[in-house]
Structure 1
Amino acid sequence: MDAREALGLIGSGKTLTRAEAEATMGSVMAGEATPAQLGGLLAALRVRGETMDEIAGFASAMRRAAVKVTLSVADAVDIVGTGGSRNDPFNISTVASVVAAAAGAKVAKHGNRASSGKCGAADVLEALGVKIDLGPEAAARCVDEVGLAFLFAARYHPAMRHAGPVRREMGIRTVFNILGPLANPAGVRRMVLGVATPELGETMARVLGELGAHHVLVVHGADGLDEISPTGPTLVWELRGGAVRQSSIDPAALGLPLASVGDILSGDPAANAATARSIIGGETGARRSAVLLNAGAALIVA
């Protein structure tokens, strides 16, 4: 099935099976969809909403088309978000990845440049002087030797070049915004995944289960954050043993003072880099709390 056929099915009120979705995205990744076909498909999915089978099928095709990273460890973890938060916090997940690795986790951090906020993982790491475009062998060696590697999405998903121009021209959030976190090229099966809307929580947890994940915390924080938030309770959907259980994390119950969202807002890459250095250097307060909450979650699933 290609994008044109899929668009016809969706236009007639039908949904795609997982196999149909996987074939459709495979066609897109191969460059076989015209801009009009892909734009129409993405718009139709945005209006109707994607099913779990469609998301799983699309993600499977993206994983298949990715440049693979083969790790020597089976329990690597990723801390990642879909983006699109109502507020724009500093790059919490990237700093949390460093802290989790320092605490003993093996972290294969998958990320990109900013799409919805001011600073993505690639932007802040580049500002910190990190070489962000390591190939698969070097990345695997970093995980082995220091417990942490950054997998730059633009480096590991070259087939996305076929969708990039259409996405930029459309200028709206599409299914690709939630597919990126599902397509870690190292195939990690343990993850802390932040979502910007609670409606995505259970769906993303179940999709990850379909994709073979072992232990996942899908989180939606107070103030609309796609992180575990220090500003109030965070909703959690935990996938473990094939089952999904919903709960919440209250920072006050963990002995952390409640912060205001203004305490953790983002800036440009240089500001984010300064924030990262300050937190790792011993800063206390709301930003440290945000990092500890998310690093702690990574250690739970690792």
Structure 2
Amino acid sequence: MINLLKEVARGKRGARDLDFGEAAAAAEAILNQSATPAQIGAFLVAERIKLESIEELEAFVSVSRKFTRREQVQEGLDCAGPYDGRIRSFAATFPTAFLLAAAGLPVTLHGSAPLPPKWGITLQDIILEADIPLSALSRYSSIHAARRSGVLYASSEEWCPPFGKIRGIREEIGMRTIFNTTEKLLDYSCSPFIVFGIYHNTVFDRLARLMIKLGYRKAMIIQGTEGSEDLYIDRPTRVYKVENGAAGLDIIDPEALGLDTPVPELVWDARLQLTTAEAVLQGGGHIAFYNQVLLNGAVRLHLAGRVGSIEEGVYTCKDLLDGGKAWDSYNAWKNALLSEPPVTHQV
């Protein structure tokens, strides 16, 4: 590890990108903790200053997946949002997952307890607020719930235990590291489709090339709310569509679909996130958040080829929300997590 550290920590002018093999060796040393905490921290900070290359990211994702208990539970859409959570926006991806499941598109959500640099409200915080204990999010229970509802929630440190072991180092560093990207690409259920949130548009091209290397059938990289995979409802959103080895910039404008809505300024906490999501899933709630879920659902259905256009997706999603099927999907998932899964085989 020391030799690899010397290559990435020579300063802004002297540092060089690691090749795939070198980066994979660094990832192995970090995840199996053969490197010391000081070496791990120094490497992560040096990489952050240097900026990670595509080859380094690919290597870290590849190695991290080897440490991950991946299951082909369902062939659907992976929603890859920020593990450091939300502070000032609605987590539309949470209710959207149950809307998509009601439309017949399985969805994988994933996350953890809050992480730096944002320390915001995470999907796991919202789920725990729904009176679902952490023990109910075991891998076995989560797979059972996915089979009952079409929605899989993977707790990253349950499915990839080494991530839990390096949490303390990441918390002490307090800044973004290569793992802020890697953790979103572990692909727990081997999904052919992915929506991936970013904060800065400068990484569009780099991440598009990474998606191609990782072999997704279709991907959408979204410069969404707070760096999430959620499209804005009060303004256009820049996205990169990736398909057949090619990528291109697009703009998704809610005004063109008659959905643009001013968003109220709210002080978000996990309880408000949950109650807002549940209101939308019952066909109600504030029109801005209802429309945001409609838009995100429609675009994701279109990405996965389940509807012929985004406009068709909007009508499909509206029927599922207003008709109660999305709410039924949410309750099926929640009840499955809270029930004792049948013991059929070890997963």
TM over 0.5: yes
Give the TM-score normalised by the residue count of structure 2: 0.79
Q: Does 1:55 align with 2:53?
A: no
Give the TM-score normalised by the residue count of structure 1: 0.90
Q: Which residue of 1 aligns with 2:275?
A: 274
Which has the larger displacement, 292-301 or 209-218? 292-301
Shift of 1:31: 1.0
Q: Which residue of 2 aligns with 1:9?
A: 7
Which has the larger displacement, 288-297 or 57-66? 288-297
Listed as ranges, the matches of 1:3-82 within 5 Å are 4-12=2-10, 13-71=15-73, 73=74, 75-82=75-82
Q: Is the 8 A contact 2:222 2:239 kept in 1?
A: yes
Q: Which residue of 2 aligns with 1:178?
A: 181
Amino acid at match of 1:20: E
Distance 2:121 2:226 in 1: 19
Q: Which residue of 2 aligns with 1:129?
A: 131
Distance 2:281 2:288 in 1: 13
Q: Show structure 1 runs of 4+ deviating over 6 A.
A: 84-87
* From 218, 235, 238, the counterpart of 2:238: 235
Distance 1:20 1:276 in 2: 44
Q: Aligned pair in 2 of structure 1 residues 99, 190: CA closer, same or farther (>3 Å)?
A: same
Shift of 1:138: 4.1
Shift of 1:243: 1.1
Listed as ranges, the matches of 1:80-99 within 5 Å are 80-82=80-82, 88-99=88-99
> Which has the greater radius of gyration?
2
Distance 1:159 1:106 in 2: 27
Q: Aligned pair in 2 of structure 1 residues 200, 45: CA closer, same or farther (>3 Å)?
A: same
Distance 1:150 1:16 in 2: 33
Q: Secondary structure at the match of 2:247?
A: strand
Shift of 1:239: 1.0
Structural RMSD (CA): 2.2
Deviations 1:85-105 (A, max 9, x none): 896312221111111111111
Deviations 1:98-130 (A, max 9, x none): 111111111121222233253111111121134
Q: Aligned pair in 2 of structure 1 residues 156, 86: CA closer, same or farther (>3 Å)?
A: closer
Amino acid at match of 1:121: L
Deviations 1:13-38 (A, max 9, x none): 21111222122111111011111111
Q: Which residue of 1 aligns with 2:252?
A: 249
Distance 1:65 1:190 in 2: 22
Listed as ranges, the matches of 1:85-124 within 5 Å are 88-115=88-115, 116-124=118-126
Percent identity, aligned pairs only?
25
Q: Does 1:195 align with 2:191?
A: no
Q: Is the 8 A contact 2:85 2:122 kept in 1?
A: no
Shift of 1:56: 0.9
Q: Is the 8 A contact 1:217 1:297 kept in 2?
A: no
Where do 5+ consecutive residues of structure 1 fail to align?
none
Number of aligned residues: 296
Q: Which residue of 1 aligns with 2:220?
A: 217
Distance 2:68 2:109 in 1: 15
Q: Aligned pair in 2 of structure 1 residues 292, 271: CA closer, same or farther (>3 Å)?
A: same
Distance 2:77 2:229 in 1: 17
Q: Aligned pair in 2 of structure 1 residues 110, 290: CA closer, same or farther (>3 Å)?
A: same
Which has the larger displacement, 240-249 or 9-18? 9-18
Q: Aligned pair in 2 of structure 1 residues 297, 22: CA closer, same or farther (>3 Å)?
A: farther
* From 153, 157, 175, the counterpart of 1:154: 157
